[in-house]
Homo-oligomer: A and B are copies of this chain.
């Protein structure tokens, strides 16, 4: 049974959905403010300091756990449907994962939608990756990590590096990733009643904004479900059992496994979208953070 503490995320999502429903013409600033409150259900990890940095032209935030090694890094792509979310909303959850892995995290503020549809966010991911390499990090010292829309970026960045013949990160962590822009997953229906945030209409709206007038919903760099995953580094996917997006994870894991990729799929029963935000508050999130930290300690090698 879901922990009592995990209810905080369901409650926050219900509040968001009711506020969006009450204000269907919500302006962009207000919606972004709403998503920036995501951090409220995350407890400070403690013993982590933060520093702003210009990462090759992309504003970014270091999360630096005390005692972390300085040659390995989680390149963290935040979620928020490509429209919202920021280094501010995801600072603490990135800090938890960095601390669990014993490394730094870098959360970057990519250009968002609707101002910058695909491939804007991915281009910024690449800029930050190149900047890290220019700073002296080896590609193998980097893990791409992200949630929701950022979970897609955590996969599409290595895909684009592979396609370019460039050295790859050594690990991918995707939390509740948003991988299918056509909204065809079975759980969009079967979990419609239990998912407190996402829904088919919301997914379709975000996909439309992300693709803009020129994008294709089957572009593998926009919707990694359509990619050939062969050659990707080990992938850890963690997703909630109550999510409408659960099927995105399940289908991608199956496809990646068939392509010979080392895939770990963690489905945590009854959990909501990116339940990892509950780190420090709910046992399900803490357990997942520990699992991911252990996995990264094995796979994030130079």
What separation, in Å, do the CA atoms of A39 and B61 have in the docked complex? 14
A227 at the A/B interface (Cβ < 8 Å)?
no
Q: Is the Cβ of B44 less than 8 Å from the Cβ of A50?
A: yes
A287 at the A/B interface (Cβ < 8 Å)?
no
The number of chain A residues with a CB under 8 A from chain B is: 25
Number of copies: 2
Complex interface: stretch among A29-37, A142-150, A202-210, A213-221: A29-37
CB closest chain-B residue, reference A48: B49
Q: Is the Cβ of A19 less than 8 Å from the Cβ of B15?
A: no
A43 at the A/B interface (Cβ < 8 Å)?
yes
A52 at the A/B interface (Cβ < 8 Å)?
yes
**Given A29-B15, A36-B33, A37-B33: A52 and B47 interface contact (C-beta under 8 Å):** no
Residues from chain B with a CB closer than 8 A to the CB of A163 are none
Residues from chain B with a CB closer than 8 A to the CB of A5 are none
Interface positions of A from 163 to 211, Cβ below 8 Å from B: none
Residues from chain B with a CB closer than 8 A to the CB of A27 are 19, 22
Q: Give A contacts to B, CB under 8 Å.
A: 15, 19, 22, 27, 29-30, 33-34, 36-37, 39-40, 43-44, 46-52, 61, 66, 88, 280
A–B complex contacts, Cβ < 8 Å, 7 sampled: A15-B29, A19-B27, A33-B37, A43-B52, A46-B49, A46-B50, A49-B66
